[in-house]
Amino acid sequence: MDPLFIIPALGDNFIYLYSFGQNSALVIDPSDSSLVLRIIEKHKLSLTMILITHHHWDHIAGAVELKRETGCRVIGGDKQRISGIDDVVYDGQIVRADSIRIQVIATPGHTRTSVCYYMQPSNDNKNGIVWTGDALFIGGCGRILECDAEVMWNSLRKLASLPEQTLVYCGHDYTVENYEFALMIEPENEAVKQYLERAKQAQKEGGPTSSFNNTAGKTNQSFFTGRCARDRRSSAHDKCPACGGFCGTAPTKRRLLD
């Protein structure tokens, strides 16, 4: 059995359930408790830990009920805004689950207290995994709500410094929208065009686009390369995450709490 369960929720969210040891499991950003309970019951898993990347409702909505039903611990970076939290984590801290080591990476930008979780390589996880919540998506990054663009850029650089084989699992399926935005910045980028076509094909086949390796992340999105479209002009009122200015290419379709 693959230890990682990818659970689509709320239209474009992802919940991640990871099994380890004999029958233990942890879950990342459980927006819907019923979906998680269904899987742990089916596979006879014992939920021991919830990892929260940030406090927005679409990442924590199921945490309190899961804690009540299973007795698991809730872990995150914000004591005031994450209901039911047991352990507040900090940058560089190692969270242990049996033999698994999970490094906390503080990634302020989308929110002040956003964190990502890097599971270091092991026998069951050859490449390493990082769960990025709304800090980093396929082809894009989260909306900057509580910090400035420089803070977000420094957080993205942290994620880019992880080993290149690391598998990146993000909090939402915004892939097509993000690559369409990337082509506004770099219309001649053939790699982005190819990734966009793959994402569209995956959508047609009914499959989510939830992960990529860190090499792809650094080569196919403008937020890692620092490129922007300063020469474009429009009436957009959002700051561009790539340049930190009002270059007119910032995405405007996402919900406020993406």
Choosing from 29, 78, 134, 173, which is the catalytic residue? Answer: 134
Count of domains forming the chain? 1
More confident residue, 246 or 48: 48
Q: What is the pLDDT at residue 257?
A: 38
Is it the case that residue 232 has pLDDT exceeding 70?
no
pLDDT digits (tens, 9 = 90+) for 143-153: 999 999 999 99
Choosing from 32, 55, 78, 110, which is the catalytic residue? Answer: 110
For residue 49, tell me if it sits in a domain.
Answer: yes
**Cα dihedral value 155, 87, 15, 64, nearest 10:** -140
CATH number for 59: 3.60.15.10
Side-chain-facing half-sphere of 31: CA atoms under 13 Å: 21
Q: What is the token pair recorded at 118? A: 């890097």
Is it the case that residue 16 has pLDDT exceeding 50?
yes
Choosing from 56, 78, 173, 258, which is the catalytic residue? Answer: 56
Is it the case that residue 128 has pLDDT exceeding 80?
yes
Active site residue 55: no
Q: What is the pLDDT at residue 215?
A: 53
Active site residue 237: no
Choosing from 29, 32, 54, 55, which is the catalytic residue? Answer: 54
Query: How far is the C-alpha of 146 from the C-alpha of 161, rounded, in Å?
Result: 23
Choosing from 29, 59, 78, 173, which is the catalytic residue? Answer: 59
Active site residue 110: yes
For residue 242, tell me if it sits in a domain.
Answer: no
Q: What is the pLDDT at residue 139?
A: 86
For residue 98, tell me if it sits in a domain.
Answer: yes
pLDDT digits (tens, 9 = 90+) for 94-125: 999 988 999 999 999 999 999 999 999 988 88
Active site residue 56: yes
Query: How far is the C-alpha of 38 from the C-alpha of 43, rounded, in Å?
Result: 9
pLDDT digits (tens, 9 = 90+) for 37-83: 999 999 999 999 999 999 999 999 999 999 999 999 999 999 999 99
Choosing from 58, 78, 173, 258, which is the catalytic residue? Answer: 58
For residue 87, tell me if it sits in a domain.
Answer: yes
For residue 152, tell me if it sits in a domain.
Answer: yes
Active site residue 91: no
Instruction: Give the long-range contacts of residues 164-167, CB within 8 A, separation 24 or more.
Output: 164/213, 164/214, 164/215, 164/218, 165/126, 165/127, 165/128, 165/213, 165/214, 165/215, 166/118, 166/127, 166/128, 166/129, 166/130, 166/213, 166/214, 167/127, 167/128, 167/129, 167/130, 167/211, 167/212, 167/213
Side-chain-facing half-sphere of 141: CA atoms under 13 Å: 34
Query: How far is the C-alpha of 121 from the C-alpha of 126, rounded, in Å?
Result: 5
30 φ, ψ (degrees, to nearest 5): -80, 95
For residue 88, tell me if it sits in a domain.
Answer: yes
**140, β-bridge pairs:** 137
Q: What is the pLDDT at residue 63?
A: 98
Residue range of the domain that includes 51: 4-170
> From the CB of residue 92, how many other CB atoms can be counted at a distance below 10 Å?
9
Is it the case that residue 11 has pLDDT exceeding 60?
yes
Q: What is the pLDDT at residue 242?
A: 42
For residue 120, tell me if it sits in a domain.
Answer: yes
For residue 86, tell me if it sits in a domain.
Answer: yes
User: For the chain, what is the radius of gyration of the CA atoms?
Assistant: 18
| Residue 206 DSSP SS3 | coil
Is it the case that residue 229 has pLDDT exceeding 50?
no
Active site residue 12: no
